[in-house]
Amino acid sequence: MKVLVNGVPLLSPLTGIGQYIRHLFAAIDRMQLAEVYMHYGLSIEKGIHLPSERTAHTLSRVNALAQRFVPYPRTARRLAEKAMFAYQTKFALRDALYHEPNYVPMPFDGPLVLTICDMSCFDHPETHPIERVRLMQSEMPKALDRADHILVISESSGRALQRWFDVPSKKITTTYLAADARFRPYEPGALAEPLAELNLSEGGYVLCVGTLEPRKNLTTLFAAYAALPAALRHQYPLVVAGMSGWNTQELMTSAQTLIEKGELRLLGYVPDALIPPLYAGAAAFCYPSRYEGFGLPPLEAMASGVPVLTANQTSLPEVVGDAGLMVAPDDVDGMRESLRQMLEDRVFAQALGLRGLERAKKFNWERCAQETVGVYKQVMRDRGRVA
């Protein structure tokens, strides 16, 4: 069976959707469950690959400039991508199933599987740029009607989808994500060299990973962290890894005092090879996001053996279960006390890390790949095609 995938999100520093594409289709390809063809904007290629670090960084800068200087940059980029996709598939891969992992499909006259990672543009439109919200509001209803089947990455996302749209349950399948095998505990001393590249020391920092944008709720984390005892802030600086998103003015204002004291470091883009040791070297991981379709970073932290604190909203309880601490996203005092407990009671933190390590094993990309291809086969049978 041939599967055509929109791989454009791979061509920039990987956010959640990029990680989903990367790991799911690498597993499908590795397990030889289907022939994967990736659309990379200017070409369609068999198999899956990531751009070089240099290319990814350059594309990120180009996108940032477009956001600043091009009127309606998302709309313009979308029109260009649709035209290129239609041209490239006009005569090629007409017998393929098309899987769109990024909400809104390109033009394609054939079987369509759609992935809806979350419904935040509808549930919390204030946390997105208005142009993105308008695009989703305009295109999502047509995409859902057109899709043969819809994949969601948590039960929470499935419920949110059905709150907004009349999609029958039989048309929706939940396929949980997983942490890549690269995320694991390291032997003592093995982290010294990679962490030195980031000017960090093993067990000497609190970590948060994610794009800097409103729904990640970092202002609450900064307030909770700032209320910790000074000795803890000195011993365990807060480190945030992630590209700048949008509407970061309030965030940067709340961060300024901590940055000036040397208690907060915003790493920005971190090379892919350094992400696993960055997780594994943390004393604790905090993810206060208000809204997540799945919440891959906490799972990656748990797979690394690091104790985890998250907000108790949307999909995060499905991922973390009883293997981490959870507080309401606006509970500054609760977040502060949970952080303090993990940093002061290292026996407790170690036990919590071991619980997370065991829970992370329940999620794996091989199962996600098999369940996804199972949906493909059902769609092809329903269409009267040979899978």
Q: Give buried/exposed letters for 182-193 (b at 16+ CB in 10 A, else e).
A: ebebbeeeebee
Whether residues 84 and 214 share a domain: the answer is no
Let me know if residue 203 belongs to a domain: yes
pLDDT averaged over consecutive 10-residue blocks of the chain (387 residues)?
Answer: 92 82 95 94 84 53 52 69 84 91 92 96 88 92 97 97 96 97 94 96 95 83 95 96 71 82 91 95 97 94 98 96 96 97 97 98 97 98 83
Let me know if residue 187 belongs to a domain: no
Whether residues 97 and 120 share a domain: the answer is yes
Let me know if residue 183 belongs to a domain: no
Residues near 368 by beta carbon (within 8 Å), at least 6 away in sequence: 23, 24, 27, 175, 176, 177, 178
Closest of 259, 371, 320 to residue 31, by C-alpha: 371
Whether residues 170 and 216 share a domain: the answer is no
Contact 258, 226 (CB under 8 A): yes
User: Cα 368 to chain center, whole Å?
Assistant: 15
Whether residues 231 and 204 share a domain: the answer is yes
CATH code where residue 324 lies: 3.40.50.2000
Let me know if residue 102 belongs to a domain: yes
Whether residues 212 and 345 share a domain: the answer is yes
Range of the domain at 224: 192-360
Strand order in the sheet with 308-311: 264-268, 238-241, 206-209, 284-287, 308-311, 325-327
Query: The pTM is what?
Result: 0.87
DSSP state of 324: S
Residues near 256 by beta carbon (within 8 Å), at least 6 away in sequence: none
Whether residues 208 and 251 share a domain: the answer is yes
Please state the domain count of the chain: 2
Let me know if residue 119 belongs to a domain: yes
Let me know if residue 387 belongs to a domain: no
The whole-angstrom separation of Cα 265 and Cα 222 is 11
Whether residues 79 and 133 share a domain: the answer is yes
